[in-house]
Amino acid sequence: MPDTGNSIPPRLGEIIEEFSFCEGREKLELLLEYSERMPPLPEWLDRETNMDQVHECMTPVFVHAETSEGKMRFYFDIPPESPTVRGYAAILGEGLAGVTPEEIIGVPNNFVQEMGLHRVLTAQRLNGIHAILAYLKQLATKALDNSSA
C-alpha cells in the first residue's frame, strides 16, 4: 500500500497560504472569490445521471470524480445561493486537480484550521466542509480500488 501520510498537494498548499495571510472578513471575501471562480459543469455532466450527492451536507452538493492516467479531477454542482460551500468546493477542485488518489487520501482533515476558516465559519458550515473532503477521499479510495482490480 502506498504511503498516504498527511501531506498537502502543492496547489492546495498555495491556497492555504493565501488564506493564512488574510484576517477575519478578508477570509470570507476570498472564499467568495473562489465561489465565483467555480467552473460551470461540462455539458456532458448532469446531477441526475452521473454525479453523486454528498448527503452529509445540508446544502445540495453534487460531485463527479474523473481519473485519467492516475490523476484525479472533481466537478461540483452547488447552488449559487450557497457561496461558502461553493467556495470551499472550488478550493478543493482547484487544489486537488491533477493529483493522485493517494495524495487526496493523504490530505489532513484539519487543513481548514491552517486556513483559519474555523474562525469565520459556523460549526454547521465546517461540518459540511469536512463532509465534502471525506467524500472526495472515498471517491479517491474507490479510484484506487478500481485501478488495482
Q: Is residue 5 part of a domain?
A: no
Q: Is residue 52 part of a domain?
A: yes
Query: What integer is the mean pLDDT of 125-131?
Result: 89
Task: Please tell me the predicted confidence (pLDDT) of residue 4.
Answer: 43
Query: Over 70: is that where the pLDDT of 38 sits?
Result: yes
Query: What integer is the mean pLDDT of 33-53?
Result: 92
Burial class (CB in 10 A: 0-12, 13-18, 19+), 67: middle
Q: Is residue 4 part of a domain?
A: no
Q: What is the mean pLDDT of the chain?
A: 91
Q: Is residue 117 part of a domain?
A: yes
- Overall pTM > 0.85: yes
Q: Is residue 19 part of a domain?
A: yes
The model's pLDDT over 62-102, given as tens digits with 9 standing for 90+, comes to 999 999 999 999 999 999 999 999 999 999 999 999 999 99
Provide the pLDDT confidence category of residue 149 given band limits of 50, 70 and 90: low
Which CATH number does the domain housing residue 78 bear? Answer: 3.90.1010.10
Number of domains the chain contains: 1
User: Smallest Cα–Cα separation from 59: which of 24, 25, 19, 88?
Assistant: 88
Look up the domain containing 114 and give its range.
10-148
Task: Please tell me the predicted confidence (pLDDT) of residue 143.
Answer: 94
Q: Is residue 2 part of a domain?
A: no
